[in-house]
Amino acid sequence: MKKTAITLLLVVMGAGAEAQTMYDALRYSENNYEGTARTMAMGNAFTALGGDLGSVTINPAGSAVARYSQFTITPGVAISVNSSGGTSQDYFQTTYKTPMGKFSLPNIGFSVNFDTHRTSGIKNWALGFTVNKTNTYNNDLYTRGLNSTTTFSGALATFAAGILVDDLILTDSYDPYPDSRIPYDVILGYEAGIIQPPGETQIVDGNEVLKYPDTYIGVAENYDIINEGDAENEFISAGLPADASIEQIYSRRILGAKYDYVFNFGANVSDVVYFGANLGITSLNYSQEYYIREMSGGDASDYSMFQTKFNSLRYNNVYSASGVGVYGKFGIIVTPGNGLRLGAAIQTPTAMSIQERWSASAEMTTYDETYGNGDAETPESEYEYNLTSPFRFNVGAAYTFGDFAVISADYEMANYGGMFIHEANTNDNTQFETLNEDIRDFMGAQHMFRLGAEVRPASSFAIRAGYGLTTSPEKVEDEGGRLVYLQKLADKPGRTMSHRFSFGLGYSSSGSFFADLALQATRYADEYIYPYDYYYLDGENVFIDPTVNTPEILSRRWLINVALTLGFRF
């Protein structure tokens, strides 16, 4: 699973700018429908059903199925449960479960039905405005353990290799990060004292200067001079002290959601064909904060084992994004008779504008008076870019057993290889050429399968259930160097797809009031997180060093939605 072919170019690593990835594009393009409690309970398999405001986002024709006007509001609770730990006993040995609950509003909207009083042709049409949630990002992660092999400070030191220490000494107090050629985390680590050049000096032209001005040691490392005195073969060797270990903590909190604001039109032709159109406005907010902490003492090695008398360090990164986009969607439902219903919809690419903000801070403490303590923080940076997400289409079939029951099945596909990131306010996309090539090469089609069923043992009471499966659109290289979809990797079977299970109840009064309750549980695909990597310098390029066994965290996430829809027909 670990990707070792990623190349980081120093010239594009400036102060966190232009750091967008294909995973950002996927995150802001992907849909994980919620909606009303009824649609959620039936797995959102509503392409061929309609009649519910939660279905309007899936198929615009659904608004014309109901022969009445309606209003719905769906408050709820979204509970994220994350279990995370290391994949090896070499680090993050304990798996921690971290639940997080937040109030949710997956649906609110109305639709007004107009009856033409005709017996054929357009018998009724509808106008409406609905807000349905299409993604919940909430996710809280925490894990910790002992590491006797590598350190974050050591990894940062390898990333800084080849950069002259004079280039890290900052003189501009207004803009403390003026050199866009130098990675911002290297500057931050140097300012905070997490990395420093070895203290060896030599006399040059009568002046005492650093002997290794482009080599760095992490605060949690000891170093030795190998082949000292041999000018051609002398070098610095650094790493954790022999028989030493440090305690590491990795924590990440993600908050946010994506909503579709839909202006809808639908029409009913002779109770056989229903068609509709949406003008959709996508709005999203996303925030992520993570930190890495390393400590000596406690269960880890005593600070006296370290040349710096290392105590602790903490590296913190904050990122947020907001975006808005617009798209069109068109759908149709056909009822040929005998209880059969067929539906289809197509959505245009979404043109989005994304605004990002990020900052980072770092600190470290030691028990050494010479090395001392340090802290630093970056200024908050901002960046804006445009994202075009791909078109998507969905088809569905349903069968009704009179007024007693209904079953439904949907298939939806979006080809995320068609995503495109480009500069805002210019047609010069040079800086995104490599990223867009990665999207075309490593992203492909995502398939969504949805099933739903409803049984009405009484006219006012309904029991519902649903299931959904979503495949990964990501492609990776297998052992033979071929690009394959992630779910086809033999070493990770069944862990690269998302599964959704749902159940619900419904009540409909003889008057205008109705209420629905749903429980929806989504088991997301496994996520592998690499808090840091070691690097090596080759010319002007920095490459990930695959020979160093750095931590790998396996994160498993469940999202549980409990929703209650309150509705009125009029």
Tens digit of each residue's pLDDT (9 = 90 or more) over 93-142:
999 999 999 999 999 999 999 999 999 999 999 999 999 999 999 999 99
The arithmetic mean of pLDDT across residues 67-90, rounded, is 96
pLDDT at 297 over 70: yes
Q: Strands 541-544, 535-538: parallel, antiparallel or unpaired by DSSP?
A: antiparallel
pLDDT confidence bin for 16, thresholds 50/70/90: very low
Q: CA 469 to CA 448: how far, in whole Å? A: 6
3-state secondary structure of 27: helix
Residue 306 lies in a domain: yes
Name the DSSP letter for residue 432: G
Residue 470 lies in a domain: yes
The arithmetic mean of pLDDT across residues 497-518, rounded, is 96
Residue 513 lies in a domain: yes
pLDDT at site 283? 98
Q: CA 109 to CA 564: how far, in whole Å? A: 14
Is 542 or 494 the better-scoring residue by pLDDT? 542
pLDDT at site 489? 66
Output the CA angle 11-12-15, nearest 5 degrees.
105
Is 530 or 13 the better-scoring residue by pLDDT? 530
Q: What pTM was computed for the model?
A: 0.92
Return all residues near 186 (Cβ < 8 A) that are at least 6 apart. Answer: 156, 159, 160, 163, 168, 195
Name the DSSP letter for residue 68: S
Residue 279 lies in a domain: yes
| 462: Cα separation from own chain's centroid | 35
Is the Cβ–Cβ distance between 67 and 115 less than 8 Å? yes
pLDDT at 296 over 70: yes
pLDDT at 12 over 70: no
Q: pLDDT above 70 covers what percent of the chain?
A: 93
pLDDT confidence bin for 6, thresholds 50/70/90: very low
Residue 1 lies in a domain: no
pLDDT digits (tens, 9 = 90+) for 427-468: 888 889 999 999 999 999 999 999 999 999 999 999 999 999
Structure tokens at 177: 């990060």
Residue 476 lies in a domain: yes
pLDDT-wise least confident of 28-37, 200-209, 450-459? 200-209
Q: CA 422 to CA 157: how far, in whole Å? A: 33
Helix H or strand E encompassing 39:
helix 37-41
pLDDT digits (tens, 9 = 90+) for 362-403: 999 999 999 999 999 998 989 999 999 999 999 999 999 999
Domain limits for position 156: 7-569
pLDDT digits (tens, 9 = 90+) for 307-361: 999 999 999 999 999 999 999 999 999 999 999 999 999 999 999 999 999 999 9
pLDDT confidence bin for 177, thresholds 50/70/90: low
pLDDT at site 180? 58
pLDDT at 4 over 60: no
Residue 563 lies in a domain: yes
Residue 2 lies in a domain: no
pLDDT at 417 over 50: yes
pLDDT at site 168? 84
pLDDT confidence bin for 72, thresholds 50/70/90: very high
Is 150 or 173 the better-scoring residue by pLDDT? 150
What is the dihedral sign for C-alpha 41, 47, 136, 555? positive
pLDDT digits (tens, 9 = 90+) for 265-281: 999 999 999 999 999 99
Q: What is the CATH number of the domain that holds 62?
A: 2.40.160.60
Name the DSSP letter for residue 19: -
Q: CA 292 to CA 249: how far, in whole Å? A: 6
152-160 vs 184-192: helix crossing angle, rounded to 10: 120
pLDDT confidence bin for 207, thresholds 50/70/90: confident
Q: CA 328 to CA 392: how far, in whole Å? A: 11
Q: How far is CA 235 from CA 203, 214, 217, 307, in A?
A: 18, 12, 13, 18
Domain count across the chain: 1
